[in-house]
Structure 1
Amino acid sequence: MEKPMLFWEWERLESYVENNFFQISDPGKLLSPIRSVRVWRDQNLRIVMETKSAEHPMTAREQEYPPGTVRVNDDVVHFTSPGGGVAHAFGVDIRKSKTNTNHQHGKHETVQTCSLHHFESNTSYKGAVAYTFDWIANVERRHYFWPDGVQESTQEISTRTLGYGTDPVTFTATSSEDSGSRNCLDINVGGFRIILGSSKLATELDNTKPGYILYIGDPDEETRKRIRDSLSFALGFPIIYLGYAKHREDFKLLSLKAINGYSMDGRAFNVPVMPPAPICVPPGSNMLDKGKVETVANSFFANYSNYSLSSLNWIYWHAVTAPVHMAAAYFGAAIEKIQKKYIEGQGKNFNNLIIPKQKYNTLKRSIFAAIKECDLSIEDKKTFEEKINGGNVVSLKVRSQRFFDHIGLDMGSAELTAWQRRNDAAHGNELADGDYISLIRDTKLLKLILHRIVLKITGASALYIDYYSLNFPERELTRGVSE
C-alpha cells in the first residue's frame, strides 16, 4: 500500500479535492448537473480538470470564439465542500468532450476534460499564517552538497484483539523508523527565514525534480517571487513555480493555490547548474556555503527594483535555453537593458555625448545653414534636421565601453570580440561556415559579461566563475577574460 503524501512533502492538489469531497456549485460553461469531478497536475506540470455529466452536448453549436481570437480566459468554475471549504478553478478551457451511451440500459455519460490556468481554495479554518510553502520544481538535489539536514521519524502502532465477549485480550506494538539526510538550505533572504529543499516523490512527477521553499511567516506573492528569483540567480538554475499552501501555527491548512508550471517546454530541466559567483567551499567543490549564497541572494533581492532585475529572470533563462544562434541576441538584449537603466539612474554623472553640448550646438548651426543652401525638398531637409538634432549621442559600442569603465569592469580582448557577436545575432548576419565553435564560445562570454555586470552593480560578490576558460577558475570581478 502506497503511503499518503504528508502536507510538508509537496503539493497535494488531487488528494485535497478528493478527500474533502468537493462538488461543483457553479459549473460555468460546463455541462451540468455534474456527477463527479477530478482535478490534478499532469507530468507536464499543467493543471487538468475532468467532469462527468449525464447531459448530452449540443450537436450543432456555433464556435464561442472564432479561430485566431486573442483573449484573457476569465471562465470560472466554483466548488464547495461539506466541511465548509470553497474553491475556484480559473481559466477553464474545454479541450475534449467524450460521450458514452448505453442504449440497452438507457444510460448516457459525457466526460469533459479541461485545462485550467490556476486553482485556488480556502478552507474553513481561520487564523494567522505561520508557515507558507511555495511548491516548486527543478530543484537539482544531486548537484550540490546541501548544508542543512532533514530528520524524518515515522511511528506505526499495531493492535491485535483476541477473544470474544466482555473480556477480550488486546496486544499493542509500536514500531518506529528514523532517517536523516542533507537536502535543504536554511538561510535568511529579504528579512524572512526561508528553507529551500528537495522532495522525493513516489509518483511520475518525481522526474520534475520537485521541491519547496518554506517561509516562516506570510510574505506576500510579490516578495516570494522576488526571493525565488534571487535564489534562482544565486544558485544557477531556473526555479519553476507551481503554487503555494499556507498553514496556521498548529499546521492546519488555511489556503492553497496551484498554477500551471512554466518550464520553457521542458528545457529548464536540462539547464546545467552554473552559479555566477562562487557559493561553494572549498573552491571547485559542490559544498554550498550558506553565507555566500545568502550574500548573493540578498544583494539581488535588495536591488530587485533597480536596473530591470525584476524582469532579468525571465530574459536570462530564456537566453540560457535559446538555440545557440539566437542566445547571443538575448544575452545582448539583457545587457543593454541593464545598461540603459543604470545610465538613466546616473543622470548627468554619465557622459552619453560625443562632444560637449555647447560645442555641438555651434556645430549644429553650421550644418543647418549648409542644409538650407542645398537643393532639397522641405521634407528631406526636415528629415536631416531631425537626425542632426539627435546626432550627438555615442554609438552603442562606445556607450558600452564607457559603461564598463564607469562601473569599474575591465573588458578583456576576448569579451570585446564577443560583443560583436551580439550584433550579428540581433541583425541576422550570416554565420560563416564552420564558425560554430566561435559562436558557442562567444555566447559563453556574453553570459559572463552579464554575470559580471549584475554581480558588480548589486555588490553581490568580488569574484565570478569564468565558465569560458578551462577548469572554470574563479576570477576577480574587475578582470575580464582574455585569450
Structure 2
Amino acid sequence: MPDEWKWEKLPSEICRPEFESPCDFFEIERRSDFSLWACGTSYDPPPRDDEEEDGKSRVPGQRIEGETLEFKELSECAVTCYNSLRLDKERQSSCGEPNQVTEKWRCAALERVLRDDEPVHAIDWVLNLRHELIFPRATDADTDVSHKRRREGIEWERMRSRNQDGLDHLSLSLVVNESEYEVNVGCTTGGPQKWLPGFVEYAGAVPSAEERRLIRQSLSFALGGELILVSTSWFNDDGWLIKTRHVSQTFTKVIGAVSGGTAPMTNIAGSGSWLDGNLFDEEKIRQLTQKLIDADELLCVDELKRFYFLARRTVMDVGPAVYGSSFEYIRDRIEHDLPTTLIEKKAYRETVRPALEAAVKGLVDDEFLCPGATVEDLLSKLSYFHKISLTAQSRVLMEHLGLEFGDVEKAALSERNHPAHGRTYQDEHYDTLMRHVRAFQSLINRVILAVTEGADTYIDYSTDGFPERSLEEPLGGPKGDGKPAVFAES
C-alpha cells in the first residue's frame, strides 16, 4: 500500500481467503485511480476449472452483485469485500517453472473489523476539501492505531496572524432527524496532498450512514466543492480504531472535482470577500448546512448533488445542458402548485384537443406533408401544444420565489439547447461559453438559497470580480450591467 494512503487504515497484512480460490493469500490495495483491489497469487494451483463448487461461473469481467468476499488477516481481523468484479484469472507456465495463477478482484467497497466494541465517534475521510478561506480552529492530534484528538477552541492570535498551517478545522452543531451531532470539518496532512484530503468527524454520537451522507452532501454545497468519500473509521471510547469501511471512487470524478476549484453559493467569510484569504464564518456555514439538511425532503439533496456537481466537473462544451438538467430537477421538485400549461388540462383533453385533431385531419392531406411525414406525426405534436415552454416555466418559478428573472438568466437557459442538439463550439467561443456556464451556476445557486432560506445574498459568478448580490437582484453579466455575454461571429 502506498504510504500516502496510510491515513485510510487499509488492511496492512496479507489476508487469507475464506472463499473457494486457488490462491492461498491476497493483498488488499487502493490503486492510484482510487479503485480497491483484492489480488492473490498461487504458485501451486489446482487444475484449471472455471466452475466453482457452488455451480457459479467465475469468468473474467463477471460482476457478482451482492456477493461478498470474506478474508481473514493473520491477526484474525475480518475483511469483507462487497459487489466485487473479477477482472482476470491468469495462469503462467514457461521454462519448467511451476504454474502460477493470479486472481484479481475489483471491489466496490471493503470493510475491516478490528474489535467488537460500540463506536462512540467516527471520521469520514474525504478528498477535495480545500478553500481560499482559513479554518478558524486548531487540532492537537496523535494518530496511530489508538486515535486521539483534542479539538481546540478558536485561537485569536492565530486568527490575527492568519497562520494557515496552524488552523485546520471548523466545528459545527447540526441536527439530523431530531438528533444533534457535533461535526468537525477540516483538512489533514495524512493523505495524498494533491487530492486535497480532509475529514468530517462526528463527536459525541455517530450518525447513521444515511445521515452522514446527508451531512457531507450539505457541506459540499455550503463550502462550494464536492466532498468525495474514500473511507470511514470508527473508534471506541478509549480512542482505539475498531472498524473501517472503504469505497472505490473513479479517477475522472476525483480529478474533475479537484480541478473544478471552489465556488461557494454565498459569501462564507467572517469579513470581507471569500477570495481574500479571510477566515471562515462558522455560523454562516452552520446555518446554510442546517438549512440544506432541513430541505432534504423537498429537494432530495442526494439527487440534487448528483446533478449539480456533475455539471460542475463536466467539460465546458456540455456544461449548459448538464446545468439545464440540474435546474429542471430543482424546478420539478418545487413547482407542484405552479402552472405548467396554458389551458386547464381537463378542458384541453376533453374539449380543445379533439377539436384540434378534427381540424388537422380536415385540413391536412398528403399533398401538404413533407416526404416521410404522416398525419399521425403531426397529431402527436398536439400533446405539447398546451404546455408552457421550459423558459416560461423557469420565469414563473423565479417569480414565485420572488427572484427577478433578467436577460442574463434568459441567455443562460437558452444556451442549454445548443449542446443538447449537437452544436459544437469554436476556440473563439469558449470565453463567452464560460460566462454562460458561470451564469447558469449562479442562477441555480440563487434558487437553492431561496428555497432553503440559507442566505440573503449570493455570489454572482457571471460578473467579473464575482460580486455579492442580494437574492432578489438578477445576474449582472460580465460588466455588471445586466447584459449577457454575446458569442463572436465564427
Q: TM-score, with normalisation over the residues of structure 1?
A: 0.79
Deviation at 1:308, TM superposition (A): 4.2
Residues 1:130 and 2:120 are matched in the alignment: yes
Question: In percent, how many aligned pairs have the same letter?
Answer: 21
Whether the 8 Å contact between 1:263 and 1:269 is mirrored in structure 2 is: no
Deviation at 1:444, TM superposition (A): 1.1
Deviation at 1:358, TM superposition (A): 7.9
- Equivalent residue for 1:323, pick from 300, 315, 321: 315
CA distance in 1, matches of 2:30, 2:307: 26
Secondary structure of 2:297's counterpart equals coil
**Cα pair distance change 1:54/1:268, threshold 3 Å:** same
Query: What pairs with 1:59-78 in structure 2 (closer than 5 Å)?
Result: 71-74=63-66, 76-78=68-70
**Which residue number corresponds to residue 201 of structure 2?**
214
Whether the 8 Å contact between 1:139 and 1:197 is mirrored in structure 2 is: yes
CA distance in 2, matches of 1:183, 1:405: 41
CA distance in 1, matches of 2:460, 2:312: 16
**Which residue number corresponds to residue 226 of structure 2?**
238
CA distance in 2, matches of 1:45, 1:372: 60
CA distance in 1, matches of 2:64, 2:50: 22
**Which residue number corresponds to residue 471 of structure 1?**
465
Whether the 8 Å contact between 2:63 and 2:86 is mirrored in structure 1 is: no
- Equivalent residue for 1:256, pick from 233, 244, 252: 244
Greater mean alpha carbon deviation, residues 267-276 or residues 107-116: 107-116
User: 1:480 is matched by which residue type in structure 2?
Assistant: P
Query: What pairs with 1:79-158 in structure 2 (closer than 5 Å)?
Result: 79-81=71-73, 84-90=76-82, 91-95=84-88, 97=90, 99=92, 103=96, 109-126=100-117, 128-140=118-130, 143-152=132-141
Greater mean alpha carbon deviation, residues 230-239 or residues 310-319: 310-319
Deviation at 1:254, TM superposition (A): 2.9
Matched residues, number: 434
**Cα pair distance change 1:99/1:436, threshold 3 Å:** same
User: 1:479 is matched by which residue type in structure 2?
Assistant: E
Whether the 8 Å contact between 2:121 and 2:206 is mirrored in structure 1 is: yes
- Equivalent residue for 1:31, pick from 19, 22, 40: 22
The superposition leaves residues 97-128 of structure 1 with CA deviations (integer Å, 9 ceiling, x where unpaired) of: 4647785xx766544443222211223433x3
Deviation at 1:239, TM superposition (A): 1.0
Query: What pairs with 1:273-312 in structure 2 (closer than 5 Å)?
Result: 273-284=262-273, 285-286=276-277, 287-312=279-304
**Cα pair distance change 1:467/1:384, threshold 3 Å:** closer
Query: What pairs with 1:314-463 in structure 2 (closer than 5 Å)?
Result: 314-344=306-336, 346=337, 350-356=338-344, 363-364=352-353, 366-367=355-356, 370-371=359-360, 373-374=362-363, 387-388=381-382, 391-431=385-425, 434-463=428-457
CA distance in 2, matches of 1:187, 1:124: 29
User: 1:317 is matched by which residue type in structure 2?
Assistant: F
User: 2:166 is matched by which residue type in structure 1?
Assistant: S
**Cα pair distance change 1:56/1:316, threshold 3 Å:** same
CA distance in 2, matches of 1:81, 1:66: 26
- Equivalent residue for 1:187, pick from 166, 172, 177: 172
Gaps of 5+ in 2: 144-164, 367-372, 476-481, 484-490
Secondary structure of 2:298's counterpart equals coil
Whether the 8 Å contact between 2:135 and 2:168 is mirrored in structure 1 is: yes
Q: TM-score, with normalisation over the residues of structure 2?
A: 0.78
Secondary structure of 1:294's counterpart equals helix
Secondary structure of 2:44's counterpart equals coil
The superposition leaves residues 9-43 of structure 1 with CA deviations (integer Å, 9 ceiling, x where unpaired) of: 8311043xx2xx643332x4x323x1x43212222
Whether the 8 Å contact between 1:139 and 1:198 is mirrored in structure 2 is: yes
CA distance in 1, matches of 2:441, 2:409: 10
The superposition leaves residues 310-361 of structure 1 with CA deviations (integer Å, 9 ceiling, x where unpaired) of: 21212222211212110100001110111112112x3xxx222214568756
**Cα pair distance change 1:131/1:100, threshold 3 Å:** farther
Secondary structure of 2:168's counterpart equals strand
Gaps of 5+ in 1: 155-179
Secondary structure of 1:298's counterpart equals helix
CA distance in 2, matches of 1:113, 1:66: 11
CA distance in 2, matches of 1:135, 1:199: 9
Deviation at 1:131, TM superposition (A): 0.5
**Cα pair distance change 1:60/1:147, threshold 3 Å:** same
Secondary structure of 1:10's counterpart equals helix
Residues 1:10 and 2:1 are matched in the alignment: no
User: 1:288 is matched by which residue type in structure 2?
Assistant: F
Deviation at 1:397, TM superposition (A): 1.7
Greater mean alpha carbon deviation, residues 183-192 or residues 430-439: 430-439
CA distance in 2, matches of 1:119, 1:358: 54
CA distance in 2, matches of 1:260, 1:111: 21
CA distance in 1, matches of 2:249, 2:374: 53
